[in-house]
Structure 1
Amino acid sequence: MKTVRISIERFVMMLAIVGLFVAAITRENAPSLEKSQMVLADSVDAETGLALDPNFAIIKAQCTGCHSPKLILQHRFTRDEWLSKIRWMQRNHKLWDLGETEKTVLDYLAKHYAPNQAAYSRREPLRNIKWYKLEQ
């Protein structure tokens, strides 16, 4: 029997392609939803809470293998700050070299989890508050 060796990047890419194929088949066979439900279902992955996007499967494979997707959801960084976090994980937590997928990961994170994104953010600060003194 012949042994075949492939790089981690190629393996992750193959996993992503299979994931996209399965998602397409599942979506094709899913029962029809109301338009309002479809927007929500198409924008966020039900399992992870991460934004759905053509590169979602790569992100899921690269990021959620080591940590919860909640770690991504609770942060808002610029592209350079996300790159800094990746380098920190590589230095301190033995994250592998993302290779060709690093640009894809950074594009996804900068698009969906940038500081200017309002999704999942805190409420607006209160304005024009009339404070009063509490009586004892």
Structure 2
Amino acid sequence: MKKHNHDKLKQEFQGFYRILILTCVVVALFSVAMIYFMADPTMSTFKSTVPDPDIVSVPAEEDDFDKIEDGIHVRTGFVEAPGMMETVQNCTNCHSAKLVMQNRMNKERWKTTIKWMQETQNLWDLGKNEDIIIDYLVTNYPPKKKGRREVLTDVDWYELKD
């Protein structure tokens, strides 16, 4: 009699665990789907016929993707000079242009850094672009002797009121 009750209890627990596991799987899939759709609201499966005011469509002729103003590439802030587009195309795929510009190095250090990125960060072979990029960076963003901290410039000072 006890064995019969034990087997029946075991079957009930197995059924309960199956339902629990199925529920967990459904909740996990629903959570992943919600994260996916919330990350990019334009990917919603429910397309609205009302335009979203937060999503601005820019005609191709007004696109600032490669626009240059006052000798500066608008999208990245790079100085317009030979080698700029090679630098934009190869460096800003992985990190911001600001990171590139702040790392002012000489030719040897850039070569070492590129080699390190290729060995450890999956940077592709730059081929002939490597020398073009390094020349661009060394010419337009040469190393600076800064000391401990750069001098503050163009600061709008104000007085504190008691």
2 CA distance for matches of 1:58 and 1:101? 7
* Number of aligned residue pairs: 86
Unpaired runs of 5+ in structure 2? 1-64, 153-162
Whether 2:89 is the aligned partner of 1:52: answer no
8 Å contact from structure 1 (residues 76, 115) kept in 2: yes
Report the CA distance between 1:109 and its aligned residue.
0.9
Residue-by-residue CA offset, 1:4-29 (whole Å, 9 max, x unaligned)? xxxxxxxxxxxxxxxxxx96xx77xx
Whether 2:92 is the aligned partner of 1:64: answer yes
Matched with 2:137 is 109
- Larger RCO: Structure 1 or Structure 2 (Cα < 8 Å, ≥ 6 residues apart)? 1
Query: Percent identity over the alignment?
Result: 34
Matched with 1:89 is 117
TM-score calculated relative to the size of structure 1: 0.55
Report the CA distance between 1:42 and its aligned residue.
3.1
Task: Give secondary structure in 1 for the equivalent of 2:73.
Answer: coil
Matched with 2:13 is none
8 Å contact from structure 1 (residues 44, 52) kept in 2: yes
Unpaired runs of 5+ in structure 1? 1-21, 28-40, 125-136
8 Å contact from structure 1 (residues 48, 69) kept in 2: yes
Greater Rg, structure 1 or structure 2? 2
